[in-house]
Chain A
């Protein structure tokens, strides 16, 4: 019992890093987040499977009169989002050893890029709506629903990121907040992985 910590009593960077070092197993919040992400992955799986289910039923895909998706911009944007995994990863690592300020700046950098990504994607979304809409065909319905769900996930991630940044501002780290940082990291790895699957599905007719 001597090496069992009262983890929630860690309310400063050093004790928090000590708790983190002594932990033999994943914290509850992390296990919960893994399960949530697994369920969300299943949600994306269902959306993408539905896309291909309808696609293999269709004689022309996209339907006649609907332009095939342009490739360059979505791919470039996705690369931008996936690249934020690097500062997120480094930020989580810094937080785990108690380097709060480094963690804050890295997460801030990632959040900035992710916000830009979302802004650009929304611009592209609106641009495309002028060419065809979800009401044009089942292709349009699925295309926009898939992108809409993905963008919503990015927006939720941004809200989480801003929340974590607010909580870490001033250099205060607690065990509770460190768990939030680790979960934020996990969430962005997941959203980035989904972004790759979503963009492949989105661009399928042009690949």
Chain B
């Protein structure tokens, strides 16, 4: 684009390139504060954890391929089962959706040059990486947690889990929570304050509404989890009695605190997927989303109502009927905003002109699987049904349809959709479609029979089963399905990796995308936008007059903001231009702070209190150094 641009525009973009250039090489990546680079770091790290979680799943399925199998010992099975759940939720789906997709795309979609707090953004990534390594050190040293990802007490108490496995899990998740909270706050402030002037909140893409809802949910859902884990560690490390029924504690307190976090978490996992769906669908059916305000409202409502349904995970523990009925009712109500979105997607596709390219296929697959997972979810709102099937494979089937089918499919579709934007290369379409079908078929072969096994009474979390129970055939099919599913995912990986090196040049906007990221080059320049983009609707890239205006503004030097590392801040609702901000640039402090924090958690785990205090002092020193200089002095 720059090559054909008029000379004045070229001079300005070259100046911006100089201003926004970061150090090259490994050091540049370690000290980066560029949201796109941080997004890429998140992507590769989260995908590494996805591979680890996937291998754990395959080992679990291999153990269950036949009755009385001995591929894994019971202890190994428990550790792998726990790590599979924890990895997929805390170290894959959330970091990939918010950390990778959100980081890379959100500033681009709202016409900003970076996140609101670039160094905090880098810190989120480094803490995420350190916390992931922290938890995996447990597994790799044979001390993996083994009480399930829900980590119920008393099983997780010192009495029944005396090793350090649970400590790796609990301290690792508290550590990880700092990263997630910082990221959530950063997203909300970015959305509220850094939208391009003129992008009032009703002109914001639906993708951003989904991320706004997710971020708010995280801000309020994480504290109960932190408190639950804090209590658990106080019990385990210092002999407190929060969960000790003999000293006035209560094990159900854990369940309440955990699920007050845990159920909003389900929507935290799935809402970014909804956001990705609302990005891909308009592009590939060539029309705007049906019922835009209702879909935006539904995204917010899902996150909100998600806080009122937690005890439906606890119907079988003996809660009072009136409490159970309230939570059953709330769980049914949440179907309404979910269905609004579902019907809006379907209606948009049906009334548009669909091009069934790879990204749209993943979204259609997602809709099918979400309907199936949603329907089995509604069944659990019926209290007697839940009590009958709780802790059976029916539950495993349900949440894999929701989490793998409804949350991960759009992430995979999103990878194909934005791959040309991030790399400047096009993926192989036929292999893309093949990977979808392999994964879709493999997914159904793996998880559908679990419904039947669950109805037949097969309990979840058991490391094996007896041959005379009649579960052998379906378990064999499930395991073969999981291999097929893994093959599908390998094809996705190979397609994208090969395309980076050998793919055709994609151009700036290969699909006719609707949002602002498609208005700039592929891959985007470090400064994102040469001028503040003009925005008249949520489908900014389809407003051709505005895009022409941007080129004219660049030529005339209007709204270029090239006096430093600058971006525009605007008012929260109306998006009126309020100030010009000088943003921080690359900094060594975020990775150092993350390492110092990791030191504290590691020393607490080892009960080396003096060493922990040393790392706490180190944290203080790094913070002083971090805040010693001000952005405008950089």
Contacts and interface: CB of A to CB of B under 8 A. Distances in A.
Interface of A: 1, 4-9, 11, 19, 23-28, 31-32, 35-36, 38-40, 42-43, 45-47, 50, 53-54, 57-58, 63, 134-142, 145, 159, 163, 174, 176-177
B227 to A, nearest CB: 4
Contacts of B624: 163
A141 B242 contact: yes
B200 to A, nearest CB: 13
Nearest to B240: A141
A53 B227 contact: no
A50 B257 contact: yes
A37 to B, nearest CB: 10
Given A25-B578, A28-B193, A31-B193, A137 B630 contact: no
Contacts, number: 152
Interface of B: 116-117, 181, 184-186, 188-189, 192-194, 219-220, 222-224, 226-228, 230-231, 234-235, 238-242, 244, 247-250, 253, 256-257, 260, 559, 563, 566, 568-572, 576-582, 620, 624, 627, 630-632
Nearest to B627: A163
B238 A39 contact: no
Contacts of B559: 1
- Identify the interface centre among B185, B227, B248, B569: most chain A CB within 10 Å of its CB: B248
Contact of B241 (A26, A36, A40, A138): A138
A8 B582 contact: yes
B580 A6 contact: yes
A176 B631 CA distance: 8
Contacts of B219: 35, 38-39, 42
A145 B570 CA distance: 41
Contacts of A176: 630-632
Given A23-B579, A138-B247, A139-B248, A28 B240 contact: no
Given A32-B186, A39-B222, A137 B563 contact: no
Contacts of B189: 28, 31-32, 35
Nearest to B239: A135
A63 B223 contact: no
A39 B572 contact: no
Contact of B240 (A9, A38, A135): A135
Contact of A138 (B238, B249, B570): B249
A46 B631 contact: no
Contacts of A24: 571, 576, 578
A134 B234 contact: yes
A159 B184 CA distance: 25
A61 to B, nearest CB: 8
Contact of A19 (B234, B570, B579): B579
A1 B227 contact: no
Contacts of B572: 25-26, 31
B220 to A, nearest CB: 5
Contacts of A4: 568, 577-580
Nearest to A148: B234
Given A25-B572, A145-B231, A46 B192 contact: no
A9 B518 CA distance: 33
Contacts of B563: 6
Contacts of B234: 134, 141, 145
A63 B248 CA distance: 8
Contacts of A141: 231, 234-235, 240-242, 249
Given A19-B579, A57-B248, 13 more contacts: A6-B582, A23-B579, A31-B572, A38-B220, A39-B220, A40-B223, A42-B223, A46-B228, A138-B240, A140-B241, A141-B231, A159-B620, A174-B630
Contacts of B580: 4-7
A11 B576 CA distance: 24
B257 A46 contact: yes
B578 A32 contact: no
B248 A138 contact: yes
Contacts of B581: 7-8, 28
